[in-house]
Amino acid sequence: MCGIAGLWSNGCENIQLEEDIKKMASCLNHRGPDNEGFWSDQNVNFYLTHKRLSILDLSTAGIQPMISHNERYVISFNGEIYNNFDLRKELEKINNLIKWRGHSDTEILLELISYFGIEKALLKCTGMFALALWDRNEKCLKLARDRMGEKPLYYGLSGDDGSHTFLFGSELSAITSWRLFDNNINPNALFQLLNYQAISAPSTIFKGIHQLLPGHIFTLKNPKSKNLPESKPWWNLKSSIEKSLNDPIIDKECAISATEYILKDAIKKQSIADVPLGTFLSGGIDSSLITALLQSESNTKIKTFTIGFEDKQFNEAPFSKKIAKHLGTDHSEFYLTSKDTQEIIPKLNQIYSEPFADSSQIPTHLICREARNSGLKVALSGDGGDELFGGYNRYIMAENIWKKIDFIPFQIRNKIGSIGLRIPYQVLNKFSDIVGINQFGTKVGKFSERLKYIKNEDEFYFSLISQWKDLTFLFNKDLTNEDLLEIPNYIKLDLPECISNDLVSRMMYYDSLDYLPNDILTKLDRAAMSTSLETRAPFLDHKVIELAWRLDKNLKIKSNRFNNSNKVILREILFKYIPRELIERPKTGFGVPIDSWLRGPLKDWANELLSKDNIENTNFLKYEPIKKIWDDHLSCNFQNSGKLWPILMWQSWLNNYRSSKNLLN
């Protein structure tokens, strides 16, 4: 796991560019503390750098940027190719004269590209990655990103018309470190942040800078043009789903056998490393299954790590501990305190390098930090299991509830929502244990608010993942003329026809395209790499993805008047390794008690960021409506942390960014 960056200038002097690329590299030290490399084609003002975190082939043979054996290609690669040894054997059958420098997956990938071309080479790969490939013959740059977006890659133009420069990197901090960077804030990205907690690719917080979409390749042949070409897919989730649904699995026993086999194979490949490896164990189904399958194939105790909370309704550490004891792992648990939170928050801007507002970023960073401090260099996670196997409560709730309310006229639904909002959430929260839903009152309040305006299935889904019905009232008038109401780009994509009439399958598809890469995987990658820890997600092996979509929906979600259950197949596999009673409990998610923190240890910090001077100084949002939301939260009239946290993360990030640019200037 590493960090990559580069630039292709249209007008700067080479001596300046050498300093620029060194500065870009220094911004990625945390992603690759083991080695640093540079390469350039000064004839065309192209510069490339690589920061290395050594996982496979710890020798100098794995140092990058790396030049192919035919000397045509130069690569800076971030990620892992899990089937690299199989690919090496395939290459040796084609050409047994290859003299390998070492056994790094980067070298194998380069030879694959040299022989097959980049698209065919990537289709042969099982892995997670972001890469920059320079073609020395064609003077052409290609950027590529893995299928599901596990690894990040940003790119774009900055500078005036006379000397604009094409910049790219694993994190935005590398791009914004360029001495002439002057791109304006993208209001549409701010809208996405406030509504969805994260910014959806291909947008970023800056105009002119983009995130490469998962499964895409971007090709640049001329940096002089101010109009960048569109990226193109080398892999497509829609096509993969359509292919899978043409070969469905309906039989339960067959599904259990196939899923267990394919997961074991993915875990086996992803557990190959020349450094210490372990797992994150939350106590939920996904992480418990990954841990159980990994431990079942290991002759020694694997290392497992869990985060706990002082607030019992968020604390799953006791469950994780029981599971770890049953599996016989070498288990460590760490409790997140308010002091830890206060220490981590000032670091979030540096960790994420653009505003990011999933509050579970705090415990995610802590568990990564503690795992790394304990000697771990690679950790397996259960990310992706919810989107593929129907794990989110909203999948069950949406279908059940929509069937019940669809026949009710909208005017009546609106009145029901108004009544629900009048019931104090604190009263309903007392019934959480009885109904089996964590923070029951808070969720009833959110649902009641949405009942007031949802009119169809897709609006219902978006109401479940967004914080606002309409937030243009938060923006200054001069910004509302911009396209602030743009919904995430993935909704514009054509749906696989076979799921167009299936709400739950559509939700899983939407989440896989947007929530998973832009929130879940972003959160984990930045939190882990800030501590120089590599994380791997076996559920996101493309063969697991293909199998998951072959499974009949009833093998994932069981919903009737007597029983609601999700991830049915994963549970059946897990119960082979762990007693049912250690797993069967309400799903809580990886949440944090941010509501109480904002009224307690984080109150002064939030007060400062939400002050009139601070809000008005940023010149993007209005003070009065934000003050109302903050006052309602402090008075306990509403649980507004979901709306406040993105605003706080935005204000904090913008203040930090402006300060850093002033220092640079």
Side-chain half-sphere CA neighbours of 278 within 13 A: 25
Distances (CA, A) of 490 to 194, 465, 506, 528: 18, 14, 12, 26
The one-letter amino acid at 260: E
- Whole-number Å distance between alpha carbons of 430 and 342: 29
Grade residue 2 by pLDDT with cuts at 50, 70 and 90.
confident
28 pLDDT higher than 70? yes
117 pLDDT higher than 50? yes
Cβ-Cβ contacts under 8 Å for 143 (sequence gap 6 or more):
130, 131, 132, 133, 153, 155, 168, 212, 217, 218, 220, 231
Question: pLDDT over 90 for what percent of the chain?
Answer: 60
What is the pLDDT at residue 301? 94
- Give the tens place of pLDDT for each residue, 629-656: 999 999 887 788 999 999 999 999 999 9
Each as own residue / partner, the long-range contacts of residues 11-17 (CB below 8 Å, 24 or more positions apart, any chain) are: 11/159, 11/162, 11/163, 11/164, 11/165, 12/45, 12/163, 12/165, 12/180, 14/42, 14/45, 16/179, 17/45, 17/47
- Whole-number Å distance between alpha carbons of 420 and 401: 15
What is the pLDDT at residue 665? 44
495 pLDDT higher than 50? yes
DSSP character at residue 495 = P
More confident call, 491 vs 626: 626
Mean pLDDT of the chain: 88
What is the pLDDT at residue 606? 95
Cβ contact 348:319 at 8 Å: no
Least-confidence region, from 107-121, 315-329, 480-494, 648-662: 480-494
Q: Which two tokens stand for residue 243?
A: 């292919």
Q: How many CB atoms lie within 10 A of CB 332?
A: 17
Q: How many CB atoms lie within 10 A of CB 427?
A: 10
DSSP character at residue 228 = P
Grade residue 53 by pLDDT with cuts at 50, 70 and 90.
low
- Whole-number Å distance between alpha carbons of 28 and 50: 9
The three-class DSSP label of residue 438 is: coil
Cβ-Cβ contacts under 8 Å for 232 (sequence gap 6 or more):
216, 217, 218, 219
Average pLDDT over residues 619-632: 94
Each as own residue / partner, the long-range contacts of residues 402-408 (CB below 8 Å, 24 or more positions apart, any chain) are: 402/457, 402/460, 402/503, 405/451
What is the pLDDT at residue 536? 96
What is the pLDDT at residue 471? 85
What angle is formed at CA 400 by the lines to CA 395 and CA 402, rounded to 5 degrees? 95
Cβ contact 645:594 at 8 Å: yes
What is the pLDDT at residue 405? 80
Average pLDDT over residues 337-344: 85
Strand partners, 304: 279, 331
- Give the tens place of pLDDT for each residue, 95-116: 877 888 887 899 999 999 999 9
Q: Which two tokens stand for residue 298?
A: 């290991």
The three-class DSSP label of residue 48 is: strand
What is the pLDDT at residue 663? 52
- Give the tens place of pLDDT for each residue, 164-200: 899 999 999 999 999 889 899 999 899 999 999 999 9
392 pLDDT higher than 70? yes
Each as own residue / partner, the long-range contacts of residues 493-498 (CB below 8 Å, 24 or more positions apart, any chain) are: 493/238, 494/238, 495/238, 496/238, 496/241, 496/242, 496/245, 497/242, 498/241, 498/242, 498/245
393 pLDDT higher than 90? no
437 pLDDT higher than 80? no
H-assigned helices in 345-438: 348-352, 361-373, 385-389, 393-405, 410-422, 425-429, 432-435
Cβ contact 316:283 at 8 Å: yes
589 pLDDT higher than 70? no
- Whole-number Å distance between alpha carbons of 479 and 95: 59
124 pLDDT higher than 90? yes
